[in-house]
Structure 1
């Protein structure tokens, strides 16, 4: 007899069909709970649980009828992922026992890194009580430091800025980017960040123009004046950009690009651009794929880099969300349902429950920050443009 399979996509489609009922009636979940109680097939259990997780993401509702029996059945499952997914759903249903279990997983260095990160993300999205102390502890854990820094943005805690700034000099470049993003998420945090810059504790180069724009979006006069004083104005004038373009074009004539080090250019791309853009087979998916663009023309590339907000395609226009607790989230809307907006920021994918959103505003600005070339030497600019304009992938640096 052919084994019954309930793929996650099927379960998700089923739940989407009933999610128009506000809130989801527990009777709608009854068939899925029944499947979990009657099947011993770990594959089916995983698919059903995953489908429920995806469809219920961002919703806050009580556990459906007989969920305690599902917990009892699956809590000791040895099948990979089954127990973990059951706990994730239980936290989404407001179960304090499940939340305590996930807190233990997130804090335990002996657990797998992926499981720890998933556990922490679930606790953050569920706004589990008493989470900031755990996040502060995880700043001392190298594996979990990045996720903890990002998660601290979700909680308004007066101790957060001082703690982050105290350890800032110990962070890697990626962790510093996460730290700055969190400190830019709330007006009080941003004030502490700018004060630290004024004292020389945080280099001004660590604040991108993208993040500076986020600080201006608070519409706080004192904060804006402090930003101008310690960091500078938000964007150069059109005349400044024209001069910069002319200067960079003198560095990148065809003969110079042929002699440039494209392998070094690839390393610069990985450090500066690859978080958001793909070129050939390398890079992220936040911004446009550069492989098929007019990158063979140095003037086109330099114009886009120097003034990324001159022309912004609709799919890449940034949205500014202000939440009820004062947090501001800037990014691209990747998905939206009747209950949740999924936003891609520069450093993470954030799911915002719609009841938590106080306002949203579309920006004409690109997520790509200006000033990307400013910290580079002339040789670095030449190598980067040579890599971008090349016909094929360059070898990896040795």
Structure 2
């Protein structure tokens, strides 16, 4: 359906009270039920006010917004609606509720529940502060003023922000949380697009596609993107020292650690999903946290545990929730340069209840950790959109130490300013963070001196809390800021740099001191923050700070610092290229391994890819500045990368004279006659190394040579003596169109390996002249019809050639399949009849799946690694195999490219830049296509996984295959 279901398919549900025995904890832990339906339902977010009360956002309207007509939806579940919904009070009344719950007697239970706001429409998170309620009511950030705190809004809501995307309601703006700096932070998921304005202030919107972290400053009404990219963000958390984290709905990580102005990996790179990269010259993105152990999909959100009612062993660990596997995970968190890596330690809370779906958690006023449970048998958004959802269920639990006493003192509103200052060193994170917020909003001048004295503390707490409070009160003079640059706590140094540069400028003396600090600072997080701040400054200050970091010999392999430094430099390459080049006049920077490894190649590539005469002259200037062969080689790596996969255009004389004699492969791509002859000779010379041969083959795949060239490539493609060159030669042949290529490969097909057969099918399906030859060769002695799956037939039809279409219908008259439901039921019956043999099933997996998928660390990397997928869920797995296009995992969508030389190519987009894309085909091979050769690039609406995977398997083979696919550990003979 394309609308809310009147009678949803609710799935199984266990009544409140009966669920607790199914929740298992470690021996030193206890779990307690706090709230359940009917008081609450669909709790996607909660927060605590200064009185310790619990505020819950009940996202009952999900997934369909009220009052809107859906006019379309793509394969990523991005919907189009007939209009933008109005904001309250003139909104379309929905089912969402904002409620508040209070523990009156301090026993840890919530005796009172009150619905403060009802009938909201896409309200998924709520926090209280600055005299009212802040609600993420997509597409609006609303502020309900409530100055007297009676929980009755003083009037209609104020629209503080508008324009957040509503395309996919499981990816909307979400996760409101107060930062220690006084900003209100929020996230945006992967499948929405925002055009954010501040009504009454902005004429032009701030545009963002996909995941971001954003923030809003209530006192000044400023809005900005804090970090670009991430996973499908749905929830944010700050640790005790003010670092920001989110979860990720992928695998192999516990989440993202966000630094200010970081440009992060976005989930998937499909052009039909995110469009072109926001910065085509980023040349890399910050990634998620690493893990020392395999991690299944997915960790929805994680928090830093700082809650004294939990055992000491859990303090300082990273606690994550996994709604797919019905458990919580505790991990140690250790520094990895300027970011972190995790190591899983255990599962402190797990459930056999399939409807237990933890979606949010937080350190609580009581000293425990509170967890919200979305309470669904069906958690995938695809299923939710189809009406498989229970909008009336939801639970909230508390995790605490067995026998631990809960904190009773939770109402901070009644405390004096002096008492709040005493709480800045409390052993509960919530008390410290809330005291900072209250003190900042009160701005009591009587405590300023005491707060300044606390800055001298040599421990993080309360020094950080005092810093955050004084900053929000406007009481940090430049003299104090300079003194804090020498503070013994690294995060105090990092935060004073961050807070000082938030406005985009530094006072001269403070800038000078930060520049000196950049030379000597040993802490990677502080260095990273210097670069974050540099990215916000004018070019004079920004480039000067970046230069100090770049000249340092350390952090060559840091996960963040090299890219952060590059992004500072690149930001000024367009408008201040002369200033960028001026920073390279000194020999010291050319002696830096950091510069030669991370900056020089990117800088050369950036100017070369930009491609204008002025940019190419910058390339010439870089070569002129290079003091030695090592520096020149670093620049040339970037130059060759800029023209990888495409012909090199005519270059300015100034650049040609500086280039000298480049590599053979580059000269071939420039079309030099002598180089073409040398290349042909190298391909014929048995003394040429395979590495050099591959470089020449790839160059000829870019620059279309003579018939002599393609005949040489064709010979290498079918050579039994040089199997390492077969695939590269096959890819290079994409650039030629002679009919003889198709005839030769069709004749070679029966003698080739299965991997090479896949490459042949991929190649021959790309051009209509070869596709006709391919289809005419179907028969028992050449190419069996069983080798043509649904996806190959779909690719052939994309040519729009009547002769091809006629041959497809002639050779495959029964191309239509049985309905998915009938096939699913038939297969379930076969598999339930008797057990299979996993040993026999392994060979079937190797033959049919291992070229694309890994299982137990063996296999290909075209599709997802299956080792950590939920392979014990047979019904979900059957749908994925029988109907791979029903719901496509992000990052594995099939795209179709049509080129101006009449090729039709398909695969998934593995990389792209401003001049070319890299397409990974069904055979696992990468093809680089210049953008100028592309006529169209669009999603195919099909998964990379082929249909018909189980074709040809009898009942016993099917049982064996699934027996192997579902085993939990590798088998040994």
- 2:911 aligned residue (325, 329, 335): 335
Q: 1:216 matched to which residue of 2? A: 797
CA distance in 1, matches of 2:808, 2:786: 13
Q: 2:657 matched to which residue of 1? A: 66
CA distance in 2, matches of 1:128, 1:11: 32
CA distance in 1, matches of 2:683, 2:812: 37
Structure 2 residue matching 1:360: 3-state secondary structure: strand
1:87 is the counterpart of 2:664: yes
Q: 2:125 matched to which residue of 1? A: none
Contact 2:604 2:622 survives alignment (8 Å): no
Consecutive unaligned residues of structure 1, counting only runs of 5 or more, are 72-85
Which structure would you say has the larger RCO, counting Cα contacts within 8 Å and 6 or more residues apart?
1
1:52 is the counterpart of 2:643: no
CA distance in 2, matches of 1:315, 1:141: 34
- 2:757 aligned residue (171, 176, 181): 176
Q: 1:141 matched to which residue of 2? A: 719
Contact 2:908 2:920 survives alignment (8 Å): yes
Distance 1:221 1:31, change over 3 A: same
Q: 1:266 matched to which residue of 2? A: 842
Q: 1:118 matched to which residue of 2? A: 695
Distance 1:97 1:225, change over 3 A: same
Cα deviation, residue 282, structure 1: 1.9
Cα deviation, residue 290, structure 1: 1.8
CA distance in 2, matches of 1:293, 1:362: 25
Higher-Rg member (1/2): 2
Cα deviation, residue 4, structure 1: 4.5
CA distance in 1, matches of 2:853, 2:612: 38
Q: 2:868 matched to which residue of 1? A: 292
Distance 1:30 1:22, change over 3 A: closer
Bigger mean CA deviation after superposition, 11-20 or 158-167: 11-20
Q: Counterparts of 1:369-388 in structure 2 under 5 Å?
A: 369-388=946-965
CA distance in 1, matches of 2:761, 2:749: 9
Contact 2:601 2:636 survives alignment (8 Å): no
Q: 1:236 matched to which residue of 2? A: 817
Contact 2:601 2:634 survives alignment (8 Å): no
Q: 1:256 matched to which residue of 2? A: 835
Q: Could you tell me the TM-score, scaled by structure 1's length?
A: 0.84
Give CA-to-partner distance per residue, 1:332-359, whole Å, 9 cap, x none.
Answer: 1122222111111112111111111122
Give CA-to-partner distance per residue, 1:301-359, whole Å, 9 cap, x none.
Answer: 22211111111234322211111111111111122222111111112111111111122
Give CA-to-partner distance per residue, 1:270-323, whole Å, 9 cap, x none.
Answer: 221122222231222222222232211223222211111111234322211111
Q: 1:318 matched to which residue of 2? A: 894
Cα deviation, residue 387, structure 1: 2.0
1:225 is the counterpart of 2:801: no
CA distance in 1, matches of 2:624, 2:816: 59
Distance 1:11 1:242, change over 3 A: same
Distance 1:220 1:10, change over 3 A: same
Contact 1:106 1:117 survives alignment (8 Å): no
1:245 is the counterpart of 2:835: no
1:10 is the counterpart of 2:599: yes
Consecutive unaligned residues of structure 2, counting only runs of 5 or more, are 1-587
CA distance in 2, matches of 1:203, 1:184: 15
Distance 1:61 1:217, change over 3 A: same
Q: Could you tell me the TM-score, scaled by structure 2's length?
A: 0.36
Contact 1:33 1:66 survives alignment (8 Å): no
Cα deviation, residue 165, structure 1: 2.0
Counting strand residues as a fraction of each chain, which structure ranks higher?
A: 2
1:97 is the counterpart of 2:685: no
